A and B are shown apart, each in its own frame.
Chain A
Amino acid sequence: MTFTRLVSSTPGILVITAVAALAAGAGSIAQVQQLTTWTVYGLLALSLVLVWGKAGIFSFAQGALFGIGAYAYGVAGANLLPVTGESFSALLVGAVCGGLAAALIGYFVFYGRLGELPVAVVTLAFSLLLLTVMSSLSDPSYRIGVAVLGGYNGLGAPVLTAPGAPDGLTIPATFYLVVGVTALVAVGLRRLLGRPFGRIVLATARNEGRTELMGFDPRRVRLQAFTLGGVVAGLAGALYAASALYVDPSVFGLAQSALVVVWVLVGGRGSLLGGLAGVAMIEPLTSALGGSGGDLGPIILGAVLIVMVLLLPSGVVPALISLVRRRRAGHADEAAPVLAVEGPPPLPLDGRPPATLATHDLVKRFGGLLATDHVSLEFEPTRAHSIVGPNGAGKSTLFSLLVGANRPTEGTVWLDGADITRRSTFQRARLGLGIKRQVPSVYLDSTVLENLWVCAYADCRSVPESDRRAREMADWLGLSGRSADLAAELAHGHRQLLEIGMVLAARPRVVLLDEPTAGMTREETHLIAEVVRTLAAYCTVVVVEHDMEFIREVGAPVTVLHKGAVFAQGTIDEIRADERVLSIYLGRAHVEAS
C-alpha cells in the first residue's frame, strides 16, 4: 500500500515519467515519433476522463476539439513564426481555441438543458459538421494569413521553435516536451479534482438535483468542466500538429471520435490513469494490426467497444484497483447503529439571522386544476411551522413553489422582504434556503464526510472551515464512525438523517423539509421531531407532513391545506379539535357543501 502511495504521489509520478521518457527517448527516431503521438493521445484521453469520467458528460467532441487545437496551432504557428521567431505561443492558441469551442458547444447544450444522450448526439454532429467543412475547403483561396487550409489534403504545421533557436526542436526534444506537458496536466488535473472545484464537479455528476439544492448551478459547473476539457484537448491537438507537422480533416472523423472513447472506455473512465492506460493498451495493438486506418482496424475497434461495454463497462484500471483493494470484510454487516443525535446541532447561535419566508396570494394552475389557491402564509423566524393536509391537498405543489421547482401562475414568494418568485432553486439556496425533498437525495457514490463537506463548502467557500463543519456534523449525526463509508451503504433512516445534516452544514436561514419522516420507524420519527424542535432556535423551519403524530411531537403551529387553499390554522390541539379538519381527513361529504 505504501509503495502504491509513493508511486501515485505527485513527485513519484514525475520521477517515473522522467525515467521512462529518458529510456524511451533513446530509441530510434521512428520509435520516438510513434511514442510522441501516443503520449499526445494520452493527453487527449485525459481530457475525456475529466469530461466523461469526472463530470459525467458523455462527449464525442473531444476528437473534434483536438482537431481544432491542431488546426489552430498550424494556422497560428505559420503566421506567428515569421514575426516572433517562435511557435510556442501557437500551442497556447491551440489550447485557447479548444477551450473556446468547447465553451460555445457547452453553453448551448447545458443551458438548453439537453439530456445526456442528446448531448452526446450534438457533440457528434458538431464533429461531423467540422469534417464536412474542413474537407471541402480545398481551394487555395481558403487561407488564414499565410496558412492555406488545404481541404482534405490537410494543412502543414511548423516545427516547434523556441525563441532564439531558429532551427526548431529536435524530435527527441519534442518528445520530452510532450511527455512533460502530459505529466504536468495529469498531476494538475489530479490536484484540481481534490480541490473544491473538482469536488463540486464530481458532486454535480453524482447527484445534480442535490447539488442544485445546495446553491450550485449545475449548468455552469458542467460548462466549466467541459471548457477545461476543451483546453486540454486543444493543447493535445496543438502538440499533435507540432510533432506530426501536419494535420488533415480526418481528425474530425468518426474513427477519431470513436478512438478517444475506446481508449477511455477500455482503460477506465473513472481514473486519470485509466485514460493513459487505455492508450497504452489500444494503440500498440492497433498499430501492430496495421493501424486504425488498416482493413481490420475499425472492426477491431468496434469489437473492443462491444466486448468492453458488455463485460467490463467500468474499464480495466478500476477493475484491477478493486481487485487489489479487496473490500474490507464484514463492515456492512456491523450491527447498524440506531439513529441518534447528540445534544444541540453544531450551528452557531450568532450566525446568519433566520429569515421570514412568506407567500402572497400564491396560485398555481395545472391546466384546469387549481393546485394552489390563493395561499398567503408567513413563516416567522425562530419557530417551526408545519403544513398538513390529506393526499391531494396541494402540499407538494406548495412546497415546489416555495423551493422554486415550479413557477406560480400568480402571486409572490418573499424571503425577508425580497421578492424571490422568479429565482431558481439554486439562487434561493444561495439566499439561505435549506431544502430537503421527500425522496432522500444524497451523493450515493461519495463518502458520508464528502457529502457533508460539499454542503458546508456551498456556504462558506473555505476548505479548512468545510473540513471542520463536516466533521462536527458527522459527530452530531452519530455517523463519525462511518464517515468514510459511502452514502450508498447507509440504511434509509441514516440517509434521511444525513441529508438533514447536509442541509444544516450549509447554515441555512430557512429550512424546508418535505415529509422528512417518510419510510421511517416510530423511534426514528420521534428523533426527527426532536431535531426539528431544536432547529427552531437557529433558523426558520417549515415542515410539510401528513403524519399527525409527528406534527403533535413537533408542537409547531399548523396550517391545514385542502384543495389547494388554506383550510385552517392554529395549534395542533385546536386543529385536532376542529370537526371540519377531521372531516376532510376522513372525507365526509357535508363539509364540501358548507
Chain B
Amino acid sequence: MPLDYLANAGTNILFDVATLVLVSLGLSIVFGMMGVINMAHGEFIMIGAFTVVLAVRQGVPLWAAMVAGPVVTGLVGVVTERLLIRRLYGKRIEGTLLATFGLGLILQQGATLLLGSSPEGIATPLGSFSLGRYSIGWYSLVIVAAALALVGLVLLLFLRTRYGLLARATMQNRAMAANLGIDTSRINMLTFGLGSALAGAAGALLAPVVAVVPTMGIPLISSAFITVVLGGPAVVTGTAASAGLLGLVRQVVTLLSTPLLGTAALLVAATVILRLLPGGISGRYRRTTL
C-alpha cells in the first residue's frame, strides 16, 4: 500500500478517535461520577456549536468564540442541575434519564423554532496541506491535539486540584464524603457543569467541520453512549481507550467499505466486547482509577 494512502487513513482514524473522545468525555464523567445518564448531552453539544456560529457571525474572533462555547454550555448545565437533576437524586434510576431526555427534546425543537433547521456553518480555518494524492486539513490535527489536551486537563483537574479530590471522594462513597463535611450537592453541580462544558467544547471544536443543525447531536451521541458503556468505570482513561478502539474499528471498516458498515461495525464490536468483558474495558481496573 502506498505511503500517502496509509498516512491519510491514519489521519482519518485519529480524527475519528478524537471526535469520539470529545463527544463522550463529558457524558462519561457525569455518568461515572454521578450515576446520571445525560440524554440531553447531544443537545448540549449543539448549544456549544451554535454559540460559536452565532458569535462568529457577530464578528467575534473564532478562537474567542470557541472559548465561549464551553462557558455558555457549562452554565446551561449548572442551571439544569440546580433546577432539574437535583430533584431526582435517590429516586428511581431512570428518573434522570427520562427528565434529561425530555429536556433534550425541548432544546432540540426549541432550537429548530428559533434558529431554523437549515444547516449553519463556518469556514474551516487553517487550510490544508497535501500529502501525495491526498489533501489533509490542518484543522483535523487541531481536533486531535485538542482531544489529547482535554483528556490531559481533565486528568490534571481530578488528580491535582481540591475539587478533583473532593469529586473523587464523592464518587467513591457519597455518604462518607458527606460525613466528612464535603458539600456533595455543590460537587454534583460542579461535576454536571464540567460534563456540560465538555459537551460545549466538543460542539465548539466540531462547529467548523460539521453541519450545525438542531439535530446535530443525534448521530454524535449514539456512538458516544456506546463509547461510555464500553469504557466502563474508569471515566477518563476507560473512555479514551474505548474511543480509540471503536474509532479504529469504525474508520478501518469505513475505509474498506462504506460509512454505513463502519457504524454498524462499531456497534457490533462494542456489543461483542461487552459480552466478553462484562463491565467494559476498564471493568477490571482498580475501582478508583480515573
B31 touches A117 (CB 8 A): yes
Q: CB of A16 within 8 A of chain B? A: no
Q: Which residues does chain B contribute within 8 Å of A319, judged by CB atoms?
A: none
Q: Which residues does chain A contribute within 8 Å of B108, judged by CB atoms?
A: 298
The answer for the CA separation of A121 and B93 in the assembled complex, in Å, is: 13
Q: Which residues does chain B contribute within 8 Å of A113, judged by CB atoms?
A: 278-279
Partner of A136, one of B226, B260, B271: B260
Q: Which residues does chain B contribute within 8 Å of A254, judged by CB atoms?
A: 105, 218
Q: CB of A370 within 8 A of chain B? A: no
Q: CB of B54 within 8 A of chain A? A: no
B97 touches A58 (CB 8 A): yes
B226 touches A299 (CB 8 A): no
A111 touches B275 (CB 8 A): yes
How far does the Cβ of A269 sit from chain B's closest Cβ, in whole Å? 10
Q: CB of B150 within 8 A of chain A? A: no
A308 to B, closest residue via Cβ: B98
Q: CB of B156 within 8 A of chain A? A: no
A305 touches B101 (CB 8 A): yes
Q: Which residues does chain B contribute within 8 Å of A297, judged by CB atoms?
A: 109
A112 touches B109 (CB 8 A): no
Q: Which residues does chain A contribute within 8 Å of B106, judged by CB atoms?
A: 298-299, 302-303, 306
Q: Which residues does chain B contribute within 8 Å of A108, judged by CB atoms?
A: 271-272, 274-275
Q: CB of B194 within 8 A of chain A? A: no
Known A-B contacts A132-B219, A301-B105, A302-B104; A114 and B110 likewise in contact (beta carbons under 8 Å): no
B91 to A, closest residue via Cβ: A313
Tell me how many residues of B have a C-beta within 8 Å of chain A: 42
Partner of A117, one of B91, B97, B104, B272: B97
Q: Which residues does chain B contribute within 8 Å of A144, judged by CB atoms?
A: none
Q: Which residues does chain B contribute within 8 Å of A117, judged by CB atoms?
A: 31, 35, 37, 93-94, 97
A113 to B, closest residue via Cβ: B278
B260 touches A122 (CB 8 A): no
The answer for the CA separation of A124 and B260 in the assembled complex, in Å, is: 18
Q: Which residues does chain B contribute within 8 Å of A120, judged by CB atoms?
A: 37, 94, 97
The answer for the CA separation of A302 and B99 in the assembled complex, in Å, is: 8
Known A-B contacts A124-B222, A258-B101; A58 and B109 likewise in contact (beta carbons under 8 Å): no
A302 touches B94 (CB 8 A): no
How far does the Cβ of B171 sit from chain A's closest Cβ, in whole Å? 15
Question: What sequence of 0s and 1s flags, for each residue 84-117 of chain B, a beta carbon within 8 Å of any chain A beta carbon?
Answer: 1001100111110111011111101110010000
B residues 224-272 touching A (CB-CB < 8 Å):
225-226, 228-229, 260, 263-264, 267, 271-272
How far does the Cβ of B17 sit from chain A's closest Cβ, in whole Å? 18
The answer for the CA separation of A117 and B36 in the assembled complex, in Å, is: 9
B278 touches A302 (CB 8 A): no
B31 touches A301 (CB 8 A): no
Question: What sequence of 0s and 1s flags, for each residue 192-211 of chain B, a beta carbon within 8 Å of any chain A beta carbon?
Answer: 00000000000000000000
The answer for the CA separation of A144 and B101 in the assembled complex, in Å, is: 35
B275 touches A309 (CB 8 A): no
Partner of A306, one of B91, B99, B222, B275: B99
B36 to A, closest residue via Cβ: A117
Q: CB of A125 within 8 A of chain B? A: yes
Chain A CB within 10 A, most for which of B99, B101, B102: B102
A132 touches B263 (CB 8 A): yes
Partner of B105, one of A109, A299, A310: A299
B105 touches A302 (CB 8 A): yes
Q: Which residues does chain B contribute within 8 Å of A503, judged by CB atoms?
A: none
The answer for the CA separation of A133 and B97 in the assembled complex, in Å, is: 25
Q: CB of A126 within 8 A of chain B? A: yes
Residues of B within 8 A of A (CB): 31, 35, 37, 84, 87-88, 91-95, 97-99, 101-106, 108-110, 113, 218-219, 222-223, 225-226, 228-229, 260, 263-264, 267, 271-272, 274-275, 278-279
Residues of A within 8 A of B (CB): 58, 107-109, 111-114, 116-118, 120-122, 124-126, 128-129, 132-133, 136, 254-255, 258, 261, 265, 295-299, 301-306, 308-310, 313
Known contacts A112-B271, A295-B109, then 13 further A-B pairs from the complex at CB < 8 Å, ordered by chain A residue: A108-B272, A116-B93, A120-B37, A121-B225, A124-B225, A125-B222, A129-B267, A132-B263, A255-B105, A298-B109, A301-B102, A305-B105, A313-B95
Contacts A/B (CB < 8 Å), 28 sampled:
A107-B275, A108-B274, A112-B271, A112-B278, A117-B31, A117-B35, A117-B97, A121-B37, A121-B228, A122-B229, A124-B222, A124-B225, A129-B222, A129-B267, A261-B101, A296-B109, A297-B109, A298-B105, A298-B108, A299-B105, A299-B106, A302-B104, A302-B106, A303-B102, A305-B102, A310-B99, A313-B92, A313-B95
